[in-house]
C-alpha cells in the first residue's frame, strides 16, 4: 500500500472536522502571506540603516512589528484550531477501533497479545493524531511558506533562484529515500515495543506465580532480551535519522555558498540592488525553517504510516461470528434449549463435538461432566455464540440462535465462570456490570441472594468499597459470590455455571453452593463441573467423552448403571 492510500483511509475520520480545518487553513493563509511582506520590509529597512536615518528606521520598525503581530495572531488561530481538529480525530479513531475490537469474535483474542492491542490503541493512535496535526499545523504552512517565499525570490531575480533550485531534486531524492527506510525501521521498532508491552502485561498479571516459583530471574531474562531487541530496533532508526541530518545540512551549506556567489555576481552586473539582495537573503533565511520542518515531518509521516498500518490492520479484521441481516431481537424466553446434530472444531480435523444433540426443558438443571477436553465448556461457548458450529443448530424456544441479535441473546443468558473477572471500580459497579443504570436496591437484593451482602457491609464504604484490579483485595469465595450477584441482577432465564466452585475452600464452597441453589430455582441451568459433589442435585447428568454424550440420567440412575459416571464418582470420593 502506498502513502496516499494509507492516508486516504483517514479521510473518513478527517471529514467531520472539515469546518475546523478550513478555519485553521484560513489562519494559515494569512500567516503565510506575511512572509514575503517581512522579506520586503527587511530590504526596505536596510537603506535607512545604511544612511543612519533614525526616524525612518523607527517608522519601518513599527510597520514590521504590526506585520509580526498579525502573523502571530494568525499562527495562534491556526495552532488552536488544528489541535482541536486533530484531538477530535484521535478520539473518534480510538473509540471506533475499540468498538471494532469488541465486535471481534472470541477466537481473535485467544491469539492476540493484550499488550500489543493496548499499544495500538494508545501509542499508535496518538502517533496518527500527531501526524494529522503536523500535516496542517506544520507541513501545510511550511509548504505554503516555501511556495510564497520562492515566488517572491523569483520576482526579485529569477535567474539566481533558478540556479539555486538545481540542488532541490538531489535533496528531494535523498529525503524520500531516508523517509522510506525510516518507515520500515519504525514498523519493526513499534512491533518490538508492542511485544515488550505484551510481556509486561503477562508478567504483571501472573506476578503471584512468578514469585511463588522464584522465577524472577527467568522473567527478567525474557524482559532483558525483548528490551534489547527493542533497543536495537530503535537504535537503527535513530542512526539512520542521524545520518540524514548532516547530509541534508551539508547540502544546505553548499546552497548558501552558491547563493552568495551568484548574488555577488548579480549585484556586480546591476541586475540586483543592494537592498534587493538583502531582501533576497532574508527570503532565503525564511526558507530554512520550512525546509527543516518538511524534512523532519516527512520522517514522522513515514513513522506515522507504520502506525496507520498497525491500527487499520485491526480495523481490517472481521469477526467470525456475525449477525444475520435482519436478525431478530429475542423476546423473553421460557428457557427451552436444544442442540441438534451439532459438530464443532476449533481447528480443522480436530473435532471437539461430534453430531451432538440434547434438549434442556425450561427450568431443568443439566450437569455436564467428563474429562478435560471432552467439550463441556465448548457447549456453553456455542450457546453464547462465542463460536458457531460447523454444522447443526442450536435453538432457544425453537428459534435458531443465528437468527437472533447477539446482544439480545446474551442478555438472556447469565454465566458464573470459574475465574471471576472483576474490574477496578466499586462493588456496586462490578455487580451492575453491563447494566445501563445502577439500581442500588436491586443490587442489594442480588447480593443477598448470592450470600454476598454480609461481607459487603463489613467494608467501611459498603457497596461503594473500591475493588482493586482483578479483585485482588477479595478472597476467592467473595469474588465468586459477586459473580453470582452479577448473574442474579441480569435475571436470565438461562444460566451457565462453569466450574463455579472448583477453586474454593470448603467454607466458601458451602456459601457459594447455597447461593447457587437459590439462583438456579426456576431457570434452565447448565452446570459444568469436574467435582461431582456439585452436580448430584441436577435433574439430568450428561457424561461427555470425545465430543459425544455417552451417558445420561440422574445421579442415582448413573450410579446404578455402574458406567463411566460411577467410576468417576467412586474415584473422586475414594481419593
Q: How far apart are alpha carbons 251 and 1 in whole angstroms?
A: 31
Provide the residue-wise pLDDT of the chain in tens; the chain has 575 residues.
555 666 677 888 888 988 998 998 899 889 888 888 888 887 777 777 767 777 887 888 888 889 889 988 998 998 889 888 888 888 999 899 988 888 888 888 878 877 788 888 888 888 888 888 888 777 888 888 888 888 888 888 887 777 667 666 666 666 667 766 776 777 677 677 777 777 777 777 667 666 666 777 877 887 888 888 878 877 887 777 777 767 766 776 777 777 777 777 777 777 777 777 778 777 777 776 777 677 667 767 777 788 888 888 888 888 888 888 889 999 999 999 999 999 999 887 888 999 999 999 999 999 998 888 888 889 989 999 999 999 999 999 999 999 999 989 988 898 888 777 787 788 898 888 877 788 889 899 888 888 888 889 998 888 998 886 666 678 778 888 888 888 888 888 899 988 766 555 565 667 777 777 777 888 899 988 877 767 888 889 999 988 888 999 998 898 898 888 888 888 876 65
Q: What's the helix, strand, coil split of the chain in %, to 5? A: 65, 10, 20
Q: Which residues pair with 416 in a beta bridge?
A: 497
The half-sphere exposure of 157 on its side-chain side, counting CA atoms within 13 A, is 28
Helix 54-103, helix 18-51: angle, nearest 10:
160
The x, y and z cell numbers of residue 366, run together, are 443439566
CB 534, CB 520: distance < 8 Å: no
For 109-143, b/e burial (b = at least 16 CB within 10 A) is: eeebbebbbebbbebbbebbbbbbbbbbbbbbbbb
The x, y and z cell numbers of residue 236, run together, are 537503527
Indicate the Cα dihedral angle 153, 156, 157, 158, nearest 10°.
Answer: 60
Q: Residue 215 to residues 141, 200, 203, 224, 494: CA-CA distances in angstroms?
A: 55, 14, 10, 14, 43
For 186-221, b/e burial (b = at least 16 CB within 10 A) is: bbbbbbbbbbbbbbebebeeeeeebeeeeeeeebee
The half-sphere exposure of 170 on its side-chain side, counting CA atoms within 13 A, is 12
3-state secondary structure of 168: helix
Helices and strands (H, E) in the chain, number of each type = 22, 12
CB 265, CB 257: distance < 8 Å: no
Q: How far apart are alpha carbons 373 and 378 in whole angstroms?
A: 9
Domain 3-315 and domain 337-574 have a common topology: no
Sole residue written with cell 536596510: 46
Q: How many Cβ atoms from other residues are within 10 Å of residue 7's Cβ?
A: 18
State whether CATH 3.40.50.300 applies to domain 337-574. Answer: yes
Q: What's the Rg (C-alpha) of the chain?
A: 35
Q: Which residues pair with 495 in a beta bridge?
A: 414, 525
State whether CATH 3.10.510.20 applies to domain 3-315. Answer: no
Task: Give the domain ranges of the chain.
Answer: 3-315, 337-574
Amino acid at each position: 500500500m502506498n502513502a496516499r492510500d494509507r492516508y486516504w483511509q483517514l479521510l473518513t475520520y478527517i471529514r467531520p472536522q472539515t469546518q475546523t480545518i478550513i478555519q485553521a487553513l484560513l489562519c494559515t493563509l494569512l500567516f503565510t502571506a506575511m512572509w514575503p511582506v517581512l522579506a520586503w520590509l527587511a530590504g526596505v529597512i536596510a537603506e535607512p540603516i545604511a544612511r543612519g536615518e533614525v526616524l525612518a528606521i523607527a517608522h519601518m520598525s513599527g510597520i514590521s512589528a504590526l506585520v509580526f503581530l498579525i502573523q502571530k495572531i494568525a499562527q495562534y488561530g491556526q495552532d488552536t484550531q488544528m489541535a482541536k481538529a486533530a484531538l477530535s480525530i484521535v478520539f473518534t479513531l480510538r473509540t471506533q477501533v475499540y468498538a471494532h475490537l469488541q465486535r471481534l469474535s472470541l477466537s481473535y483474542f485467544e491469539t492476540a497479545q493484550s499488550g500489543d492491542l493496548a499499544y495500538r490503541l494508545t501509542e499508535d493512535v496518538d502517533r496518527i493524531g500527531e501526524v494529522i496535526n503536523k500535516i496542517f499545523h506544520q507541513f501545510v504552512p511550511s509548504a505554503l511558506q516555501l511556495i510564497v517565499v520562492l515566488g517572491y525570490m523569483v520576482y526579485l531575480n529569477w535567474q539566481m533562484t533558478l540556479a539555486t533550485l538545481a540542488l532541490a531534486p538531489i535533496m528531494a531524492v535523498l529525503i524520500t529515500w531516508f523517509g522510506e527506510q525510516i518507515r520500515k525501521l519504525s514498523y519493526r521498532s513499534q512491533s518490538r515495543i508492542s511485544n515488550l508491552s505484551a510481556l509486561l502485561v503477562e508478567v504483571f498479571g501472573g506476578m503471584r506465580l512468578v514469585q511463588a516459583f522464584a522465577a524472577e530471574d527467568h522473567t527478567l531474562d525474557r524482559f532483558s532480551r525483548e528490551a534489547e531487541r527493542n533497543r536495537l530496533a530503535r537504535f537503527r532508526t535513530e542512526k539512520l535519522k542521524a545520518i540524514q541530518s548532516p547530509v541534508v545540512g551539508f547540502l544546505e551549506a553548499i546552497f548558501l555558498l552558491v547563493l552568495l556567489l551568484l548574488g555577488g555576481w548579480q549585484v556586480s552586473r546591476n541586475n540586483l540592488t543592494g537592498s534587493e539582495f538583502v531582501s533576497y537573503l532574508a527570503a532565503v533565511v525564511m526558507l530554512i525553517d520550512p525546509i527543516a520542518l518538511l524534512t523532519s515531518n516527512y520522517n514522522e509521516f513515514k513513522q506515522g504510516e507504520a502506525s496507520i498500518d498497525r491500527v487499520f490492520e485491526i480495523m481490517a479484521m472481521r469477526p467470525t461470528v456475525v449477525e444475520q441481516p435482519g436478525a431478530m431481537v429475542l423476546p423473553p424466553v421460557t428457557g427451552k434449549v436444544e442442540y441438534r446434530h451439532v459438530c464443532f472444531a476449533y481447528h480443522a480435523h480436530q473435532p471437539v463435538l461430534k453430531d451432538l444433540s440434547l434438549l434442556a426443558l425450561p427450568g431443568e438443571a443439566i450437569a455436564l461432566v467428563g474429562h478435560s477436553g471432552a467439550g463441556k465448556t465448548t457447549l456453553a461457548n456455542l450457546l453464547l455464540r462465542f463460536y458457531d458450529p460447523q454444522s447443526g443448530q442450536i435453538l432457544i424456544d425453537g428459534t435458531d440462535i443465528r437468527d437472533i441479535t447477539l446482544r439480545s441473546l446474551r442478555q438472556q443468558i447469565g454465566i458464573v465462570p470459574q475465574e471471576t473477572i472483576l474490574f477496578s471500580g466499586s462493588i456496586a459497579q462490578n455487580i451492575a456490570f453491563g447494566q445501563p443504570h445502577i439500581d442500588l436496591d436491586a443490587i442489594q437484593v442480588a447480593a443477598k441472594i448470592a450470600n454476598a451482602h454480609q461481607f459487603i457491609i463489613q467494608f467501611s464504604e459498603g457497596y461503594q468499597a473500591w475493588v482493586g484490579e482483578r479483585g485482588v483485595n477479595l478472597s476467592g469465595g467473595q469474588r465468586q459470590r459477586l459473580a453470582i450477584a452479577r448473574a442474579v441482577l441480569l435475571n436470565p432465564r438461562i444460566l451457565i455455571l462453569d466450574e463455579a466452585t472448583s477453586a474454593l475452600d470448603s467454607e466458601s464452597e458451602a456459601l457459594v453452593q447455597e447461593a447457587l441453589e437459590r439462583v438456579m430455582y426456576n431457570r434452565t441451568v447448565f452446570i459444568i463441573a469436574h467435582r461431582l459433589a456439585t452436580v448430584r442435585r441436577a435433574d439430568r447428568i450428561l457424561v461427555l467423552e470425545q465430543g459425544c454424550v455417552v451417558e445420561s440420567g440422574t445421579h442415582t440412575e448413573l450410579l446404578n448403571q455402574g458406567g463411566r459416571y460411577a467410576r468417576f464418582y467412586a474415584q473422586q470420593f475414594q481419593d
